Amino acid sequence: MRILKFTLVALTAFMACVFAFTSFAPERATAILLDLDRSRSGLVRKEIDLPSGLHYVYLEGGQGEPLMLLHGFGADKDNFTRVARHLTPRYHVIVPDQIGFGESSHPPQADYTALSQAGNLHALAQALGIKQLHLGGSSMGGQIALTYASLYPNQVGSLWLLAPAGIWSAPPGDLAKSMQRSGKNTLLPKNEEEFARLFSFVMSDPPYIPRFVKNVIAQEGIVNYDLHARIFEQTKNDNTLEKRVAGLQTPTLIVWGEQDRALHVDSAAILHKLLPRSQVIILPNVGHLPMIERDEKVAADYLRFRAGLAKP
């Protein structure tokens, strides 16, 4: 009985310390959790300066063929940390913060079109000594991955597209409809309350994330609101992707959540017709971020896709 009481007292004291730490040092607590998650996935944070003056921060880990993963609008490199733990045993995984996001450079007047971002990432690959690679991308990152493959088709072994943006001939999703009605962009939160709504909007079945972590992430987006609004306009107004990639021969796996509210799921069929060597997987009860909502399933599908490419 005495041991039980001691255990309860110790546990209560520990929980009180955790609460105090997360309340008064949420940024530090979040950084610790991110480091633990990256370590579990075999990823290490690195950084590099390019000759152009751009500064990239990226995650890297694993051995094998290079696989560069590109996050979407308003996100950062850690959107792929969860799924990467299933990939680093097989591949050399590189996950950069794209220019304008996360810890990489935020030049206020830069060109943030997919064409420009693809050029930046090609320069990053060259700086890392990578000549051939496989690309994956979520949302805006998928749009950039497609653009990269259209510019450097002989340097991209395959594409993994997770609800890529840029297929503007598709029916409008809930995001576009909401913007038409209210003029407000759900992807550009101005406060923590709006970020909470964004979190629910982009994922149908989100994993548990502590509130203090969400608040830290929200603050990063709020601080960069003006820049991200500018980037969004450049991304939205770029209607060249479908013509650019039509007939592209790069083997491609297209993944879309059936409950995606940001980009209409019918985009998958349109893109499939444009890419003659593409496959499509539609995931039920999944929203706009399948690699977070169903990391194990999405990774297993990708591994099967890559295994199929290796067969004669």
Q: Which residues are catalytic?
A: 71, 139
The region, left, alpha or beta by phi > 0 then psi within -120 to 50, assigned to residue 183 is left
Percent of the chain past pLDDT 90, that is, above it, reads 76
pLDDT averaged over every residue in the chain: 90
List, for residues 220-257, the tens digit of each pLDDT value.
888 999 999 999 999 988 899 999 999 999 999 999 99
Q: What is the mean pLDDT of residues 179-208?
A: 89
Q: What is the mean pLDDT of residues 103-123?
A: 97
pLDDT number for residue 311: 72
| Residue (of 121, 131, 39) closest to 82 by Cα position | 39
Quickly state the pLDDT bin for 25 (edges 50, 70, 90).
low
- CA–CA gap between residue 4 and residue 200 (Å, rounded): 40
- CA–CA gap between residue 74 and residue 172 (Å, rounded): 20
List, for residues 155-177, the tens digit of each pLDDT value.
999 999 999 999 999 999 999 99
List, for residues 210-223, the tens digit of each pLDDT value.
888 888 888 888 89
Quickly state the pLDDT bin for 23 (edges 50, 70, 90).
low
The domain limits of the chain are: 41-310
Strand partners, 57: 47
Quickly state the pLDDT bin for 295 (edges 50, 70, 90).
very high
Q: Which residue carries 């007292």 as its tokens?
A: 9
CA distances from 150 to 146, 160, 186, 283 (A): 6, 14, 30, 27
Sign of the C-alpha dihedral computed for residues 57, 63, 66 and 72 taken in this order: negative
pTM of the model: 0.90
Three-state secondary structure call for residue 112: coil
For the cut 70, the answer to whether the pLDDT of residue 148 exceeds it is: yes
pLDDT number for residue 183: 87
Read off the DSSP letter of residue 64: S
For the cut 50, the answer to whether the pLDDT of residue 312 exceeds it is: yes
pLDDT number for residue 246: 98
Other C-beta atoms lying within 10 Å of the C-beta of residue 230: 15
Architecture of the 41-310 domain: 3-Layer(aba) Sandwich (3.40)
